Structure 1
Amino acid sequence: MVIETSHTFQLLIADDNRSFRETLRELLEPRLPLAIHEVESGEEAVEYAQHFRIDIVLLDMYMHEMTGLEALRVLKDLNAVRPCILITSEATEELRRNAQQLNAYDVLNKPVRRQELCTTVAGALRDAYNETIL
């Protein structure tokens, strides 16, 4: 999978588990044109997106104080970022419905598979920014 583009996309990972953030980075960096930024909570994701340009966000569903769904709601209200992808160990139908109502691009299950993650992120970037994906 290759994205034809002249720029690097800004991706924000919000997850309270450092090793999982590192895993996502290792899966994505060599395959997609991304500058990856990391935060540990939903609150930090909202704060970060208010101060920096972010093109896409990966949100863990279950973080301390603010869930990924709550962070998604705030990010959408602020128009701070376009596509958001939730990552969770418990992707219930109710969670999927709630995420869809907030226009989440997708909900991925943990453990996340490399191909699914890369395809989903590339698809979100393609759909949001009209970039060519080969």
Structure 2
Amino acid sequence: MANILIVDDAKFMRMTLSNILANGGHEVVGEAENGEQAVDMYNDLLPDLVTMDITMPEMNGLEALKAILEKNPTATIIMCSAMGQQKMVVEAIEMGAKDFIVKPFDESRVLEAIDRVLR
């Protein structure tokens, strides 16, 4: 079981992911709507894993990824992307993201990715 911080500007996406994670036996310790909130919450909660949306207002997922990794180089972050964001996903992986999951979320793929990066 992992403590997970969900970061997505869409409440529906956070809810969907939260349900998938709960079904997989994980605990959602926080939800952030943008990158700025994500960075603050990460530092407060120190979760085992973060699911990070790429496209968000105020501070996008790539900027938040960079900010979190600067303070916590061992942070485990999985990017969430819509189809057609391959370039940004590659950039995120190069910056230190551990994996990515594609929207719309497929429960088994999400849980597989999480198990893989936490091993």
TM-score normalised by length of structure 2: 0.90
Correspondence for 2:67 = 74
Distance verdict in 2 for CA 1:122–1:78, change over 3 Å: same
Contact conserved, 2:39 with 2:68, CA < 8 A, in 1?
yes
Q: CA deviation at 1:15?
A: 0.6
Correspondence for 2:88 = 95
Q: Whole-Å Cα distance in 2 between the matches of residues 119 and 88 of structure 1? A: 16
Instruction: Say which is worse superposed, 116-125 or 81-90, in terms of deviation.
Output: 81-90
Tell me, yes or no, if structure 1 residue 29 matches structure 2 residue 22: yes
* Alignment size in residue pairs: 119
Q: Whole-Å Cα distance in 2 between the matches of residues 35 and 109 of structure 1? A: 19
Specify the SS of the correspondent of 1:29: helix
Gaps of at least 5 residues in structure 1 are 1-7, 127-134
Q: Which has the higher helix share?
A: 2
Correspondence for 1:49 = 42
Tell me, yes or no, if structure 1 residue 86 matches structure 2 residue 93: no
For residue 108 of structure 1, the aligned residue among 83, 88, 101 is: 101
Whose RCO is larger (CA < 8 A, sep 6+)?
A: 1
Gaps of at least 5 residues in structure 2 are none
Distance verdict in 2 for CA 1:62–1:84, change over 3 Å: same
Aligned CA RMSD, in angstroms, stands at 1.6
Contact conserved, 1:55 with 1:81, CA < 8 A, in 2?
no
Amino acid of the structure 2 residue aligned with 1:116:
R
TM-score normalised by length of structure 1: 0.81
Q: CA deviation at 1:103?
A: 1.4
Instruction: Say which is worse superposed, 54-63 or 92-101, in terms of deviation.
Output: 92-101
Listed one character per residue, the Cα deviations across residues 34-79 of structure 1 (whole Å, up to 9, x for unaligned) are 2442111110010011122211000111110211111000000010
